[in-house]
Amino acid sequence: MCGILLAIGAAFRADFDQALAALKSRGPDAREVLAHGDALLGHARLAVIDISGGRQPMTAANGRLAMVYNGEVYNFAALRRELEAAGHAFHTRSDSEVLLTGYLHWGEAVMQKLDGMFAFAIHDQRDGSVFLARDRVGIKPLFWGEHLGGLVAASTLEPFFALAAFPKELDTEGLRDYLAFQTPLAPHTLVRDIHALQPGGCLRWTPDAGAAPRHWWTIPDASEDAPDRDALVEETDRLLAQAVKDQLVADVPLGAFLSGGIDSSLIVHYMAQAGASPLKTFSVRFAEAGFDESPAARAVAELYGTEHHVLDAPELTADTLAAALANLDQPLADPAYIPTWALSRLTRQHVTVALSGDGGDELFGGYPRFLDTADQHPDSVAKRLLRAMLRQGLAPASLIRRALAGADLLLYRRVELGDYPGSRKDLRRYLAPNLAVACRPQATLELWRDLAVRHGDYDRGALLRADLWTYLSENCLAKTDRASMAHGLEVRVPLLANALQDRMLKLPAEVHFDAGGGKALLRALARRHLPEAVWNREKHGFSVPLRANFAGPWRDWCEAQVTATALRAPWLNAGAIEALWHAARQGRGNPRLLYTFVVLLAWLETHGLDRG
């Protein structure tokens, strides 16, 4: 696991070392630079496999290709055997060399063979081209941008900020997505000329033609009928056991995040079944009953005899909040990032790699919102009449929600701010007028809507798939990646192994739902393998009590961010944001929306942007 950087262009050479240094936390073990033709490739390494041999940047045997790579390919041993049979020789035990040799042998088709998480850049000295790729669901990040005829690609936005020649102007549509959804959605970022390579995406860049991004993998629709439920539970059990076993490969100590929920608890079960020893687990304990899952986590730890470490949430002070947000390369307003950051810091004191239950809700239908489909909200004459009255200003904007039907109502429920003039969810009330127009509020959550229509018109299967390339990739996985890599901790996600994706996405979404709600397959396995304290209780989200923190330990720090609004972001409506803050201090209002602005303002203090 590491941080990667590639730059082509004379304007970026002077600052290249400084830009690579910005990735130090992602790769604390080594930092190396290679000049390869007209390209500079930089690598900050966290050594996990073949500690002595897998150094990067790496060149292919013929010297024509050079690569920087971030990730783990879990089936690299099998691919190596296949390549050796084709006549290739290897000089290391690393998955990096297998990936680069695979690209030399198969070309871009190598991605179809990779089972793992990855982001990489390969420079071809013969024609000056660059090939970038990101894994199927975006477990590992990759950003790119063109300027002055050159190209920069990096694991995060931080290296771009260290390059004096690279422009730093606000991307208004990235801002729109962030305010609607708490995170920018690929390909947008908060910086206009920096693009996120989309999950399942790749890009070929040439000096003459520039960049041509596309998808090398697309989310499949269901193609099989539902099999016998008992047989499917057995099959899922085998697939999960194999996925966890495959992801235990490492030359460094491993552990597991253990929240006490079904997903992470099953990961610990399969780790124990695979013989992981010593098995170390890590969790957070909250004082508030509605947030605390530590008793269930403790029950799992005791069942499997793990070495269990617990972080108390009262330790999440304003200093912790400030330090965690300072590690974000772009704003991410999921409050769960803060305890994940602190938990990663604790975990890194004991292990270098941790397994996580990320992906269980998205791939196995765990969110209650998947039960809320468009066909449950039919249109009516009354709603159409109310919409007409709203358009003519004959009804108060507070009635917008009651006027919506079908997909429009689902979108309203999904976003914090959007194209809802005059209502509490009106994006325009928080932005300067000219910026509000540039944001195109009518395109709010456009990618999510496109996916939901493409895969079934807002039915359960479509909603599940729409989350894979939006909420999962750009929120959940981004949260875990940034929180863990801030401390040089690698986190693996076995629930998103290729075999599980391939099997689950072929099946109709109904296999994940029964009388007990969603995630039926994993709940069945939990009842089989785990203590009742895990599966016989209400579902918990992993987050923090915002109201309590705004009124308590975070109060002064958050107030300082809000009062700096006019100075840091004159394109925001400072009065509207201050009103949010005053409401929160009185225990009212929308704490999640306030937190969204606090995170943005803290980020702008570190990364000031031009309005453009």
pLDDT score recorded for residue 189: 97
pLDDT mean over 401-405: 96
Higher per-residue pLDDT: 82 or 586 = 82
Q: Tokens 């009842």, residue?
A: 527
Q: Which helix (H) or strand (E) holds 338?
A: helix 337-348
370-389 burial by CB neighbour count: b if 16+ within 10 A, else e? bebbbeebeeeeebeebbee
Contact yes or no for 362/518 (Cβ under 8 A): no
pLDDT mean over 354-359: 96
Q: Which helix (H) or strand (E) holds 71?
A: strand 65-73
Q: In the predicted model, what is the mean pLDDT of the chain? A: 93
Residues 6+ apart with CB under 8 A from 294: 260, 283, 284, 285, 286, 310
Instruction: List C-alpha distances in Å: 255 to 64, 294, 307, 500.
Output: 39, 17, 9, 22
pLDDT score recorded for residue 585: 84
Nearest of 482, 444, 477, 499 to residue 198 by alpha carbon: 477
pLDDT score recorded for residue 543: 65
Residue 544 has pLDDT above 80, yes or no: no
Residue 421 has pLDDT above 70, yes or no: yes
Q: Which residues on adjacent β-strands are paired with residue 426?
A: 418
pLDDT score recorded for residue 292: 65
pLDDT grade, residue 533 (50/70/90)? confident
Residue 612 has pLDDT above 60, yes or no: no
pLDDT grade, residue 541 (50/70/90)? low
Find the range with the poorest average confidence among 263-267, 574-578, 587-591. Answer: 587-591
pLDDT score recorded for residue 368: 93
Residue 358 has pLDDT above 90, yes or no: yes
> Domain 229-368+460-535 belongs to what topology?
Rossmann fold (3.40.50)
What are the backbone dihedrals phi and psi of residue 33, each rounded to the nearest 5 degrees, phi first? -130, 140
pLDDT grade, residue 80 (50/70/90)? very high
Q: Is the pTM of this model over 0.85?
A: yes
pLDDT grade, residue 249 (50/70/90)? confident
Could you tell me the CATH superfamily of domain 2-173+181-215?
Aminohydrolase, N-terminal nucleophile (Ntn) domain (3.60.20.10)
Q: Tokens 């050796």, residue?
A: 84
Domain borders along the chain are 2-173+181-215, 229-368+460-535, 374-454, 546-606
DSSP 355-368: E--TTHHHHTT-SG
Q: Which residues on adjacent β-strands are paired with residue 134?
A: 119
Condensed to tens digits (0 to 9), the pLDDT of residues 132-143 reads 999 999 999 999
Taking 3-state DSSP, the helix, strand and coil percentages for the chain, each rounded to the nearest 5, stand at 45, 15, 35
pLDDT mean over 211-231: 95
Instruction: List C-alpha distances in Å: 270 to 128, 225, 542.
Output: 46, 28, 22
Q: What is the dihedral of CA 599, 605, 611, 612, to 10 degrees?
A: -110
Residue 1 has pLDDT above 70, yes or no: no
2-173+181-215 and 229-368+460-535: identical CATH topology:
no
pLDDT score recorded for residue 252: 81
- Continuous H helices in 415-513: 433-438, 446-454, 460-467, 477-485, 498-506
pLDDT score recorded for residue 29: 84
pLDDT mean over 12-19: 96
In the three-class reduction of DSSP (H, G, I as helix; E, B as strand; rest coil), residue 536 is classed as: coil
Find the range with the poorest average confidence among 8-12, 283-287, 343-347, 459-463. Answer: 283-287
pLDDT score recorded for residue 324: 96
Residue 417 has pLDDT above 70, yes or no: yes
Q: What angle, rounded to 10 degrees, do the helices at 460-467 and 446-454 form?
A: 140
Residue 459 has pLDDT above 80, yes or no: yes
* Overall size of the chain counted in residues: 612
pLDDT grade, residue 27 (50/70/90)? confident
pLDDT score recorded for residue 557: 97
Condensed to tens digits (0 to 9), the pLDDT of residues 284-310 reads 887 665 666 788 999 999 999 999 999
Instruction: List C-alpha distances in Å: 8 to 16, 18, 369, 381.
Output: 10, 15, 45, 59
CB atoms within 10 A of CB 85: 8
Residue 145 has pLDDT above 70, yes or no: yes
pLDDT mean over 101-123: 97
